[in-house]
A and B are shown apart, each in its own frame.
Chain A
Amino acid sequence: DIQMTQSPSSLSASVGDRVTITCRASQSISNYLNWYQQKPGKAPKLLIYAASSLQSGVPSRFSGSGSGTDFTLTISSLQPEDFATYYCQQSYSNPYTFGQGTKLEIK
């Protein structure tokens, strides 16, 4: 199985900050990488697919980049509704695997 490792596991930031979350794959996955946002008690929501494509309806302050083994999710200017847990997911090979999550908290 491909292991996905996110860093940091948790992060404190303020409204208006620029934030970057990193996801590393245990082997090259090209750009087969998706990002999700999950709020407490809710299902995950797709933000980014194919490493850098913004899902329809997702604010443009969210962006993704990377290929191979290293990927980043960037939020350019944090809004109050962005405080949540973020997960990466590889879709390069079965079984599909997720990172352990990055919890973004208000400073």
Chain B
Amino acid sequence: QLQLQESGPGLVKPSETLSLTCTVFGGSISSSSYYWDWIRQPPGKGLEWIGSMYYSGNSHYNPSLKGRVTISVDTSKKKFSLKLSSVTAADTAVYYCARRDGSGYDWFDPWGQGTLVTVSS
């Protein structure tokens, strides 16, 4: 059964770059049927889609993040990564990685357990 696990620093200073990695266990990251996505949830709030990566390297990002996001994939290590630059307190959130179905209805399943990133000096 496919599982995802996020890793990375839990504390980032304002104006710096947030970097997280998601490792895929129990399945292939190179499947043509899926995309690999990041989603975040500020404490006590709702869910915001950040962006996605296809195994071939094609990526799509939420315009609301104004060009601060980069998602990359390392198929040999079965990992994909998120970088979010120029962070502020508003970027404090639980960050989830998830697999997105590419058949057309684009649901997210499964999800990683999430990792809390706090932006503070």
A residues in contact (CB < 8 Å) with B: 1, 31-32, 34, 36, 42-46, 49-50, 55, 87, 89, 91, 94-101
Name which of B18-26, B41-49, B79-87 contacts chain A.
Answer: B41-49
State which residues 102-121 of B face A: CB under 8 Å. 105-114
A–B Cβ pairs within 8 angstroms, 26 of them: A1-B64, A36-B108, A42-B114, A43-B96, A43-B98, A43-B114, A44-B47, A46-B110, A49-B101, A49-B105, A50-B105, A50-B107, A55-B107, A55-B109, A89-B47, A89-B107, A89-B108, A91-B105, A95-B49, A95-B62, A95-B63, A95-B64, A96-B49, A98-B49, A99-B46, A100-B46
> Do the beta carbons of A34 and B47 come within 8 Å of each other?
no
Could you say which of B46, B106, B111 contacts A96, with CB atoms under 8 Å apart? Answer: B106
Contacting residues, chain B, for A97 (C-beta < 8 A): 49
Contact of A44 among B60, B106, B111 (CB under 8 A): B111
Interface size in chain B (residues, C-beta < 8 A)? 21
- The chain B residue sitting closest to A101, CB to CB, is B46
Given A87-B47, A100-B46, A43–B111 Cβ distance below 8 Å? yes
Decide: A49 near B107, CB < 8 A? Known: A43-B113, A95-B62: yes
